[in-house]
């Protein structure tokens, strides 16, 4: 029997004591699911985690070793706010190897993950009243970063039928005199879409500053090629980091490549808001770039295999998947055969099947009725999740059919 009220945490009530800035933000539902799952685990239950973008693989051994060695020599002080020069130079070298992009290390600023990079970039670009165009479905935090800076997110829909690729003409039609930036993620979270080079060039040519989230670069399948914004616009801001292709989520280490004209502003923001990224973690980044290639390649191979496993399994359960993801490590599956309310469905699956997945509404109205599943996991985790969900979804589908026939 399906409960009528799944255990989804309520949104906080409005309270005049708190700033409009704080009250403008909405919960990050992937984290809400993760945190409820942690409560279930504290009660002794086992949860299969497919809700967060966290590879179930060990980071490069060299990266972990570099942290231990840095701590052993008491390398725990502040660094230059922009990051260790050795790491910035290594990042520039990595960009040259991946894209053939010649980037001066002076244009690289090391951050505490890409979330900090987004904070700095939007704080640098956005004034109250400015608009930022966000193709949607979108990473949940993009609009919250914009709102936090006083800006207004403007959503431009992409379509499952076209593989969630961005239509530059739709973006052009959304531009107004207040448009300050266009944000693109490629490969994208949650859709897995990889934007063709022609799309990236068209977006860069529209006028507003291009902010390109490239954290999933390198995780692409079937011969699909990525096009970095670094190769289409000298004025783009590019966000990247170690969390995804090196399975270093908890290290909290990322970077932004910015136009030289913006670097002093970003540096001052970093000095005031974050001081610097952790010194010993920066040494892990240097080691990952130098010695993590084999691990990263193994992760890509595993994700390619797990993608097939999850896509086939979800289709067998009754989910709709119009296009298989080209990159990243997520499937955004149509769940409307079971329930139109993605938040309620995700928490029902968590409570009854003990499987974590992310409600589509987390990624905007365009993704409502869908659920996002991560596949950067062990085969056993995915197989367990599929097996556990089967009876819960069958009951949900039967319950929905009964109600519809009664109507």
Q: What pLDDT shows up at residue 7? A: 59
CATH number, domain containing residue 377: 3.90.1150.10
211 falls within a domain = yes
The residue-averaged pLDDT of 91-116 equals 96
- Same domain membership, residue 224 and residue 185: yes
Decide: residue 397, CB within 10 A, 0-12 exposed, 13-18 middle, 19+ buried. Answer: middle
Is residue 9, in this structure, part of any structural domain at all? no
Question: Residue 41: what are its φ and ψ, rounded to 5°?
Answer: -65, -35
Q: What is the CATH number of the domain that holds 148?
A: 3.40.640.10
pLDDT in tens, 147-156: 999 999 999 9
Least Cα distance to 355 among 323, 322, 333 occurs for 333
Looking at 292, 311, 339, the residue that finishes a domain is: 292
Identify whether 384 is part of a domain. yes
Q: How far apart are CA 365 and CA 138, in angstroms?
A: 10
Last residue of a domain, one of 292, 309, 339: 292
Looking at 240, 271, 292, which one is the last position of a domain? 292
Instruction: Tell me the CA distances in angstroms from 167 to 232, 237, 360, one per residue in order.
Output: 17, 21, 21
- Mean pLDDT over 205-218 rounds to 97
pTM, two decimals, is: 0.92
- Looking at the structure, tell me whether residues 168 and 312 fall in a common domain: no
Q: Tell me whether residue 103 is in a domain.
A: yes
Residues 6+ apart with CB under 8 A from 149: 122, 123, 125, 126, 127, 128
- Is the residue at 165 inside a domain? yes
Q: Assess whether pLDDT exceeds 90 at residue 3.
A: no
Q: Are residues 320 and 217 both part of a single domain?
A: no
Same domain for 353 and 315, yes or no, is yes
Residues 167 and 227 in one domain: yes
Element (H, E) at 288: helix 279-291
Clarify whether residues 281 and 370 are in a common domain.
Answer: no
- Number of domains comprising the chain: 2
Q: Do 94 and 157 lie in a common domain?
A: yes
The tens digit of pLDDT for each residue in 327-377 reads 999 999 999 999 999 999 999 999 999 999 999 999 999 999 999 999 999
Same domain for 191 and 329, yes or no, is no
Query: DSSP assignment of 46-108, as one string?
Result: --EE-SS---SSPPPHHHHHHHHHHHHTT--S---TT--HHHHHHHHHHHHHHH-----GGGE
Above 50 in pLDDT, residue 134?
yes
Contact (Cβ atoms closer than 8 angstroms) between residue 318 and residue 391: no
Confidence at residue 5, expressed as pLDDT on a 0 to 100 scale: 45
Asked, for residue 4, whether it belongs to a domain, the answer is no
Rounded Cα–Cα distance for residues 263 and 301 (Å): 37
User: What is the pLDDT, as a whole number, of residue 403?
Assistant: 61
Q: What are phi and psi of 102, to 5 degrees?
A: -85, 110
Q: Would you state the structure tokens that stand for residue 343, as one six-digit string?
A: 């938040």
On whether both 328 and 246 belong to a single domain, the answer is: no
Q: Is the pLDDT of residue 405 over 80?
A: no
State the pLDDT at residue 166: 98
pLDDT higher than 70, residue 48: yes
Q: Does 3 map to a domain?
A: no
Q: What is the pLDDT of residue 402?
A: 62
Residues 27 and 68 in one domain: no
Query: How confident is the model over 383-399, as pLDDT tens digits?
Result: 999 999 999 999 998 87
Residue % of the chain over a pLDDT of 90: 90
Distance CA 356, CA 346 (A): 7
Q: Is residue 392 part of a domain?
A: yes
Residues 78-93: tens digit of each pLDDT: 999 999 999 999 999 9
Average pLDDT, the chain: 94
Q: Which domain holds residue 245?
A: 62-292
Percent of the chain beyond pLDDT 70? 95
Q: What is the pLDDT of residue 168?
A: 98
Please indicate, yes or no, whether residues 221 and 131 belong to a single structural domain of this protein.
yes
For residues 253 and 388, state if they share a domain: no
pLDDT band at 2 (very low <50, low <70, confident <90, very high): very low
Q: Based on DSSP, count helices (H) and strands (E) in the chain, helices before strands.
A: 13, 12
Q: Average pLDDT, stretch 298-316?
A: 97
């Amino acid at each position: 029997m399906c409960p009528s009220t799944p255990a989804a945490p309520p949104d906080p009530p409005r309270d005049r004591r708190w700033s409009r800035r704080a009250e403008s933000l909405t919960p990050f539902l992937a984290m809400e699911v993760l945190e409820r799952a942690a409560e279930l685990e504290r009660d002794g239950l086992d949860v299969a985690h497919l809700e967060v973008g966290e590879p179930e693989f060990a980071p490069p051994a060299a990266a972990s070793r570099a942290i231990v060695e840095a701590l052993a020599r008491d390398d725990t002080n502040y660094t230059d706010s922009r990051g260790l020069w050795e790491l910035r130079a290594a990042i520039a070298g990595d960009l040259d190897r991946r894209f053939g992009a010649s980037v001066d290390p002076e244009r690289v600023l090391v951050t505490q993950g890409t979330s900090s990079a987004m904070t700095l970039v939007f704080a640098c670009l956005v004034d109250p009243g400015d608009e930022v165009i966000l193709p949607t479905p979108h990473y949940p935090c993009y609009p919250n970063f914009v709102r936090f800076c006083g800006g207004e997110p403007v959503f431009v829909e992409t379509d499952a039928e076209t593989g969630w690729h961005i239509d530059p003409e739709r973006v052009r039609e959304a531009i107004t005199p207040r448009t300050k930036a266009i944000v693109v993620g490629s490969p994208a979270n949650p859709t897995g879409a990889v934007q063709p080079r022609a799309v990236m060039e068209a977006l860069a040519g529209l006028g507003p500053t291009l902010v390109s989230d490239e954290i999933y670069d390198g995780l692409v399948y079937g011969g699909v090629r990525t096009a970095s914004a670094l190769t289409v616009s000298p004025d783009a801001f590019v966000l990247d980091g170690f969390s995804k292709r090196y399975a270093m989520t908890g290290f909290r280490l990322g970077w932004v490549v910015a136009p030289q004209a913006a670097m002093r502003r970003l540096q001052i923001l970093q000095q005031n808001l974050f001081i610097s990224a952790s010194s010993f973690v920066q040494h892990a980044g240097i080691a990952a770039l130098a010695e993590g290639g084999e691990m990263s390649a193994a992760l890509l191979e595993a994700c390619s295999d797990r993608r097939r496993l999850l896509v086939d399994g979800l289709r067998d359960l009754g989910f709709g998947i119009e296009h298989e993801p080209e990159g990243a490590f997520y499937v955004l599956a149509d769940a409307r055969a079971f329930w139109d309310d993605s938040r309620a469905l995700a928490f029902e699956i968590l409570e009854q099947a003990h499987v974590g997945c992310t409600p589509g509404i987390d990624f905007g109205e365009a993704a409502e009725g869908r659920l996002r599943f991560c596949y950067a996991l062990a085969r056993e985790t995915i197989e367990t999740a599929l097996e556990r969900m089967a009876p819960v979804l069958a009951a949900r589908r039967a319950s929905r059919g009964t109600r519809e026939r009664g109507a």
